[in-house]
Structure 1
């Protein structure tokens, strides 16, 4: 492909070589370049891609996209741009033939609710006959292909590649999680979103390698509403005005507020042994009753968001209601049937904020006992251990402390830190380092009316120990435990 065709939507300066150069491929990782490739010199938090120029030129790269002048041999073209991340997004779109223009793209941003909402939207739209791609925290779904995720919002070149494959697979729309990091790092630059969603915002991802302040975090979230046609936003969020500052889209609202365009009324908790859910009435732009097989007020928000999106695709109320009953998200309040007397679920809650939200929600169902099993990752901030221990000690009737990705730390040391947090409360606890043994203890000691939460792993299917990832899926562990129980009773 001619370089000039890749540059057609980009402001640039050709400081050496020629825009008539032929490009055989594009890459931003020096390990992936080949003869005739274009290489993006990206300034990262740790590594500056400009330092790899000699290496990639030696490997045959003939076009460089840079933010500064770099010495190159004759025959190598250097394209200087103001922002190489933005350039990568624009050039990647051109390389794959602008696939986003062949799809209706739905982008969802917010501190919580992105993952669950994407799956709800996918379920509803597919029930109405659409073929839907998905990009998110857990995976990318492209037709029949599933790709495990490494970032909530992938690099721009990967997004465009996914879009291209979705078009080839016959998808007509895609729903994707759009993180503040993805927006800040221009991974979604140049994409014209049909609909942009704001779920909610709380102080999170603030730090040296992420956002310098909560204000910056809000600003980055708000960038989505400068590149979408319709913005659908949470009317109940106290920071909505700041997030929407400078928006260029048509705005619709959802929530519990009487001022919301689409609102939830008459919510009711639904509880049976092995099942927790919620039902409510949708008012405003639609008039319908909905029941969700996922507990809690946040499930109302997530489903109401999905309904607000799918209304724009002309989905019938019947399809919406039926699809929401079927929507499941791996590792997000995922109920696993182990008994007719008590409820067990798996959830990804892996910090104090998400654990407190989860346990507070489950308390609203008035379980006989609320049992929380969790661990904390090794080689991560110790404060999280103390905080999660204190939350579980305060809100759960019994905490089962176990192991979760100890990495290069001793699991017993991590457990001791969690115990320090719990002992600030009156909460009861037991310590069982082996996660399978801990889960077996929870199941064998479950009593009628209990709610048991296995927190922290969620969709993860591994345990990381000493630099190696070992297969470990909690669903598999549960099946093994139940099978072992059956054999022992035979």
Structure 2
């Protein structure tokens, strides 16, 4: 489309430079992605400043530039006060408002977002609703998978992906809405139909600084559902009745509210809950009926995740039996309470738990499996919330029989310093600290006896360690498998 048509979606801007109206074939904000006919949006990010690459973008063929700073350029310059907002408007317009052609379900909360999106996907697909997923693990539609750099993509990639979903026949999209993504406006212009809250506990205070700011970021998903009640396009807020933060969220949205929880006070609730080593069975109760379900997941926290997905099914008028079938179709989520297959007499589980609440949840779930001894390997990220480090360590020692503290993603911090912060939360002989993560995993596995459970927590699906500015290949599951194979050879 022509530049004038593309900028027509912006209410305020100033045009500088040559008076021309070039054809725009692409919108991008990384100069490496520029090709002839592109609109280059120069945005200042946390790690780099796109304004430094304007000339390079023009050299590669950019037909126009969008920025908040005035330059003397050889191509048209669109000047705006808030380039991130402008990019969201432009991306939405360029891809012809894709979210309005899909039923979009956004999931936010400290824990459970990835699992809930997969469970919602299972429910909708079982009902014959082709659905795409956008989140921490990937952007996926059917068998087509694209790598995900952020839990919530930037506004340009988000609109592009939603457009691909729409154009390839999807009728719905379920996406993870992170607090970073919400506060940075990555979802501006996205027409969300159903917003889900999993829970809220301490996390990301290195970025948000206070819990109040963190809460405000999460609340944005619900306040942005809109205040108009359109007859044929109702909006819904699906809230965890058992989480106190839901009361605050309820006052921030004008959408229809559906609650879920363990008690019958919720609209969608569970009863007859029975936990096993790798599964959980219970009865889902909704205003339209009840159904029994057997999840291929362990832990009470996964009952909550399933109830959130069931509430979406109820909102979409999906029969309870189909909801159960959809939940039972989800066989597992990479790095979420994922059991490492091996021939040893003990159980090894990899999990993404990296917050106090999520660590407590997985250790409690493992405890319900009645292990002989529960051992956990846990670290804390560098350049992140230092306040949670002693809390994480205390939980590890309180809910496990023995803890091995180690490196997570130390980034620019000294990993020994991170371990010292963790050690402030515990006393006694209930832990050991080993900087090298592989050595820590090996120590835990070699310490295990028949009937034990070893939880390797913190990184889950991640395939790397961030050390200084390098991404070092490291996969907890693969490392554990390698060590277990080595131990098997040693025993022969």
1:391-402 matched pairs, under 5 angstroms: 391-402=395-406
Deviation at 1:27, TM superposition (A): 1.6
1:278-317 Cα deviation digits (max 9, x unpaired): 5344243331122223233221111011111123445443
Coordinate RMSD, CA, aligned? 3.1
- Which whole-Å deviations, capped at 9, do the CAs of 1:349-404 have from their partners, x for residues lacking one? 12334323332443445433221112334455554443322221222111123343
Instruction: Give the equivalent residue in structure 1 for 2:246.
Output: 240
- Residue 333 (structure 1) aligned with residue 301 (structure 2): no
Q: In the comparison of the two structures, how many residue pairs are matched?
A: 483
Query: Which secondary structure does the structure 2 equivalent of 1:166 belong to?
Result: helix
What CA deviation, in whole Å up to 9, does each residue of 1:55-101 have, x standing for no partner? 54455433233446x1334x633334453222211211222233323
- Pair 24,291 (structure 1): closer, same or farther in 2 beyond 3 Å: same
CA distance in 2, matches of 1:76, 1:407: 40
Residues 376-385 or 245-254, more deviating: 376-385
- Number of the residue aligned with 1:309: 312
**What are the equivalent positions in structure 2 for 1:406-421 lying under 5 Å apart?**
406-407=410-411, 411=415, 414-421=418-425
Q: Please say if residues 268 and 284 of structure 2, whose CA atoms lie closer than 8 Å, have aligned partners that are also in contact.
A: no
Aligned-pair distance for 1:2? 0.9
Structure 1 Cα separation of the partners of residues 222 and 213 of structure 2: 14
| Residues 207, 213 of structure 1: 8 Å contact kept | no
Residues 278 and 294 in structure 1, CA contact (< 8 A), matched pair in contact too: no
Change (3 A) 1:226 1:372: same
Deviates more, 1:202-211 or 1:257-266: 202-211
1:229-277: per-residue Cα shift (whole Å, max 9, x none)? Answer: 2222223332324323452422222223434221222333x234xx353
Post-superposition shift, 1:196? 1.8
Residue 20 of structure 1 is matched in structure 2 by 21
Which consecutive unaligned segments of at least 5 residues does structure 2 have?
Answer: 228-233
Give, in angstroms, the shift of residue 191 of structure 1.
1.8
Alignment partner for residue 460 of structure 2, among 458, 464, 467? 458
Distance 1:36-1:471 versus aligned 2 partners, 3 A rule: same
Q: Structure 1 stretches of 5 or more lacking a match?
A: none
Partner of 2:5: 5
SS for the counterpart of 1:422 is coil
Aligned counterpart in structure 1 of residue 327 of structure 2, from 320, 324, 327: 324
Alpha-carbon separation, structure 1, partners of 2:209 and 2:34: 28
In the aligned structure 2, how far is the partner of 1:411 from the partner of 1:436? 14
Where do 1:40-59 residues align within 5 Å?
40-45=41-46, 49-50=50-51, 53=54, 56-57=57-58, 59=60
Q: Distance in 2 between matches of 1:139 and 1:459?
A: 11
Indicate conservation of the 8 Å contact 1:343/1:449, yes or no: yes
Matched residue, 2:99: 100
Secondary structure of residue in 2 paired with 1:140: strand
1:442: which partner in 2? 444
Q: 1:51-450 residue pairs with structure 2 within 5 A?
A: 53=54, 56-57=57-58, 59-67=60-68, 70-73=70-73, 76-207=75-206, 213-214=213-214, 216-226=216-226, 229-268=235-274, 270-272=275-277, 275=278, 277-327=280-330, 328-338=332-342, 341-378=345-382, 380=384, 382-407=386-411, 411=415, 414-423=418-427, 426=428, 428-450=430-452
